[in-house]
Structure formats: structure tokens, C-alpha cells
Amino acid sequence: MGNKKYIMCSGLAFADEEDMEMLHEYAKEGWIFERLRFGVLYELHRKQPQNRIYSYDSNAVKKKDKDDYLAMFEESGWHLVGQWSRDIRFFWAEAGTPALHSDAKVLGNQYRGLFWGALLVW
């Protein structure tokens, strides 16, 4: 078996929690999420098993604010996996780290943007 594989994304607007849990399970088996390809494929690389959890953020961030934005997540234990498109960034943290987002307003804005983006694609 190779050191890289691709898993289909279920759609962040529709099944984000399930996808993030799936990536967590793969990480425990040694398949670590590295990036999203073409908006539909999770690229996983074979490494040592890790108990990582994953999340994402789809809030718009101005270029001048990007360093502060990323530092805020790092200080909370969340590390950047990578960015797909202009506003979607994926993060990982050790299992047990508090959720990336817990504010209902932030979550609502995130889902609203993904929903409208998904409608435009269809």
C-alpha cells in the first residue's frame, strides 16, 4: 500500500462533523490529513498514528490580520493544516483540546457561507 491516499469529502456544508470525525479515526490509524484537493478529496499521508482531531474555519480574514488570526488558534492548541480557497482553513489539535468554535454566532456564519457556496456549485 502506498504512502498517500484520497478520501472523498462528504461536503462541509452538509456533513462536516462526520468528516472531521472520519479524519480523526484515520489519524489514529496513521493516515494523517494533509490537505483538501479540488474541494472534494481529503489527501492523507501514511505517518505514525496520532490522536488528532480536526476542524475548519470559513470566516473571511483580511490579509493584514492573517498572522494574528493564526496565532490566536495556535495559542488555543489548534495548528494550521492548510487552506483551501480563499476563506476555508483546516486545523488539527490533540484530542481533548477545546472545540475550535463554540460561539453560536460564529458557527451560524460559517454554515451560512458554506450553504450558499454549495448552492452556487450545484
Contact indicator for 80, 91 with CB cutoff of 8 Å = yes
Angle, helices 104-121 vs 12-28, to 10°: value is 110
pLDDT the model gives residue 58: 87
Task: Enter the pTM of the model.
Answer: 0.80
**What would the pLDDT profile of 74-83 be if each residue is shown by its tens digit?**
999 999 999 9
Specify the pLDDT at position 102: 64
Long-range contacts of 25-31 (CB under 8 A, 24+ apart): 27/51, 27/52, 27/54, 27/92, 31/5
Residues 90-103: pLDDT tens digits? 999 999 999 887 65
pLDDT digits (tens, 9 = 90+) for 6-57: 999 998 778 889 999 999 999 999 999 999 999 899 999 999 999 999 999 9
8 is written with which cell numbers?
A: 472523498
Q: How many residues does the chain have?
A: 122
CA–CA gap between residue 29 and residue 50 (Å, rounded): 8
In this predicted structure, what is the pLDDT of residue 60? 85
Nearest in space to 54 (alpha carbons), one of 14, 82, 13, 86: 82
